[in-house]
Amino acid sequence: MRAGLLHGVVIEVFGTAAAAHRHPDLPELAGDRWTLVERDVLAALADTVQPQGVVARCAIPSAQLAQVLARRPQLLAVAVDVRDPGNAGTLIRCADAAGAAAVVLAGESVDSWNPKAVRASAGSVFHLDLPADRDVAGTLAALRTAGLRLLAADGSGERDLDELADAGALTGPTAWIFGNEAHGLTDDVRQQADDVVRVPIHGRAESLNLATAAAVCLYASARAMRTGGGAD
């Protein structure tokens, strides 16, 4: 809520007296956009079983991939056929924390403005560009044309993330590609990538979930870009 208010996308806010008491800064930030409502009215407006007492109506920011690429981003995340809104929102939050410029929702990925995705992002949907494009092949081709290296995250990848980092191979402009929760990335997407990269598993876990793998990969790139890391 605060992120939306601070970024100027909130049109109006409905809140209960109890919520205003718990979060006195929200009515102040909202100003004349704040409307005090009873609990039953708030419950009818919310889509959760136990709403927190505040609901906002927002203008959805628009972002086109061409506009994102024109700004020459250094780090992007690409979600391909990511269906679960909680995973999508958490991926957006991870990308925001790692300093990525955008998260591209490609193929049959869930809408980044799905209410569950918005909540899972913890406000990060208001910090990043979130272009969407059903044409996966076209999206990846546009990223490569813009000078981004395409790294596909996959548990069976031929390249090891640590080895790439040690070799200084993560310092350039990069788009990390993450796949469907159940099926991973298709062969077509893997073939379009410059490298298919696995996160090393040092213990006995079979794999990492989508958000955890994304956080590890994005932070590895973010660190390499900040330090110019890798071997001489």
Are 53 and 81 contained in the same domain?
A: no
**Rounded to whole angstroms, how far apart are CA atoms 64 and 68?**
6
Q: Considering only CA atoms, which of 151, 181, 141 is closest in space to residue 76?
A: 151
Are 20 and 96 contained in the same domain?
A: no
Are 111 and 208 contained in the same domain?
A: yes
Is residue 208 helix, strand or coil? Answer: coil
pLDDT of residue 229: 53
pLDDT of residue 118: 93
Whether 103 is covered by a domain: the verdict is yes
CB 198 within 8 A of CB 205: no
**Domains contained in the chain, number:** 2
- Residue pLDDT tens, the chain, 232 long: 788 888 888 899 999 999 999 999 999 999 999 999 999 999 999 888 788 899 988 888 888 999 999 999 999 999 999 999 999 999 999 999 999 999 999 999 999 999 999 999 999 999 999 999 999 999 999 999 999 999 999 999 999 999 999 999 999 999 999 999 888 999 999 999 999 999 999 999 999 999 999 999 999 999 999 987 544 3
How many CB atoms within 10 Å of residue 108?
Answer: 12
Whether 232 is covered by a domain: the verdict is no
Query: Over 215-229, what HEC string results?
Result: HHHHHHHHHHHHHCC
Are 189 and 122 contained in the same domain?
A: yes
Are 74 and 108 contained in the same domain?
A: yes
Owner of token pair 């990525």 = 100
Are 70 and 177 contained in the same domain?
A: yes
Alpha-carbon torsion 114, 115, 120, 125, what sign? positive
Residue 216 burial class via C-beta count within 10 angstroms: exposed 0-12, middle 13-18, buried 19 and up: middle
Are 30 and 102 contained in the same domain?
A: no
Q: Which of 58, 77, 92 is the last residue of a domain?
A: 58
pTM: 0.87
Is residue 166 helix, strand or coil? Answer: helix
CB 51 within 8 A of CB 156: no
Q: Considering only CA atoms, which of 230, 164, 219 is closest in space to residue 197?
A: 164
The CATH number that applies at residue 112 is: 3.40.1280.10
Supply 168's token pair. 């200084």
Alpha-carbon torsion 17, 23, 28, 30, what sign? negative
Return all residues near 121 (Cβ < 8 A) that are at least 6 apart: 89, 90, 92, 93, 96, 112
CB 120 within 8 A of CB 91: no
Which residues on neighbouring strands pair with residue 79, listed in sequence order?
105, 178
**Rounded to whole angstroms, how far apart are CA atoms 179 and 78?**
8
Domain of 157, in residue numbers: 65-227
CB 118 within 8 A of CB 89: yes
Whether 36 is covered by a domain: the verdict is yes
CB 112 within 8 A of CB 92: yes
Are 71 and 117 contained in the same domain?
A: yes
